[in-house]
Chains A and B, each alone.
Chain A
Amino acid sequence: MKTRILIVEDSPLVTDAFSVLFTEAGYDVDVAATVAQAVERGGERPVDVMLLDLTLPDGDGLEIMEALRKRACLPRATLAMTGHCDAASRRSCIEAGCADVLIKPIPIRELLRQIERHLA
């Protein structure tokens, strides 16, 4: 079975680009543009990797982690994505259960490498 990746990001431009990338790289791709959608998608069936934008139209991306943890369906690895990250935001992401915080835009080779590393 293919590795399932959930892209949580409110910009369709970015989700389109990532969908092409991960589909070509052999992943089963799903997308969510809001906190509510991400919680729904994440609860439907197990997610291996979640790429999580921290700023979403209906709330903070980290709320998704909390909601999925309550439903006992946290992804195997969650990588937070942000345009800017200081030490305090990084700490909140790691405390919320993210495996790492990536600064956007992430070169695609680096992104694929990070995902493989966290799934290993």
Chain B
Amino acid sequence: MSSADRLEPAALQGRIDHLEAQAREAQRTIDELNARDSLKTQFLSNISHDLRTPLAAIITHAEILREGMLGELTPRQRDSVAGIVSGGQQLLDMIDEILTYVRSASDQVTLVRTEFHITEVVDQVRILNQALAAKKHLTIERLNGDDLPPVYADRDKVKHVLGNLIGNAIKFTPDGGRIWIGFSRRGRDGEELVVEVGDNGRGIARDHYELVFREFAQVDASPSRPHHGTGLGLAIARKLVELHAGRIWLESELGKGSRFFFTLPLNPKLDQ
């Protein structure tokens, strides 16, 4: 350091005071942003809860009509009422997705870990999505996994992650496409399970790999986008995987398809 760079003690103290003031200001800004973020989360929670109740009433009334409890409907009337039920159900699923996000964002989600075979959960989710996939003539197949030891995880949360990944694949794979679920093991003793959900759909550009896991983010956010939703499915999947101390990522090629991967701990006690 040259003599010209050397600061007098008073000037040095002045510089330190200035930096400390800046640090305090930055902390105030962080606290304020955190407080606003909590308010936003609370607002989302309240509004979602309040939307759920009237929607539940609409669906129940429509179901009563659809079931002919208030008199037989003509086929066209029945189709129309069935549309109210399915539209309402779709809206409800979106609200539930927001509530799940809010709970995970505000650390209200706790894991209830048990040992279970992941293939059972995958097969359940496949069956649940069969009707939706059939509409687009998509196949959903499980490639392997019969010989895997149990995982030690929260069954409902893992089901949620798989549901979101498979739902996403159905949404972005064109008619006649293929969706698959496969497993591999890694780690020194194979103690970690890698689950893959792949599709031969439209794919995701490398620039958007991070974006798709971000809350409320959609690669095509325009009002005319062909696929609507909360933009929370993959963000929730990421949070739920991370709660298990796992990792989630994707590999993709535009026009060829996407492969989403996540890791879960296997139960070492039972892997004999």
Contacts and interface: CB of A to CB of B under 8 A. Distances in A.
Interface of A: 11, 13-14, 16-18, 20-21, 24-25, 83-84, 86-87, 104-105, 107-109
B64 A14 contact: no
B1 interface: no
A7 to B, nearest CB: 12
B53 A21 contact: no
**Nearest 5 A-B pairs (CB), nearest first?**
A105-B56, A13-B57, A17-B60, A24-B69, A108-B63
B67 interface: yes
Contacts of B103: 84
A11 B57 contact: yes
B245 interface: no
A71 to B, nearest CB: 30
Given A11-B53, A13-B54, A14-B53, A86 B64 contact: no
A21 B92 CA distance: 20
A83 to B, nearest CB: 6
Interface of B: 49, 52-57, 59-61, 63-64, 67, 69-70, 92, 99, 103, 110, 112
Given A20-B61, A107-B63, A14 B56 contact: yes
B64 A105 contact: no
B69 A16 contact: no
A84 B67 contact: no
A83 B96 CA distance: 9
B241 to A, nearest CB: 19
B64 A104 contact: no
Nearest to B88: A105
A109 B67 contact: yes
A21 B69 CA distance: 8
B69 A104 contact: no
Contacts of A14: 53, 56-57, 60
A13 B60 CA distance: 10
Contacts of A18: 60
A21 B56 contact: no
Contacts of A105: 55-56, 59-60, 92
B245 to A, nearest CB: 20
Given A18-B60, A87-B112, A108 B67 contact: yes
Counting chain B CB atoms within 10 Å of each CB, the highest count among A11, A25, A86, A105 belongs to A105
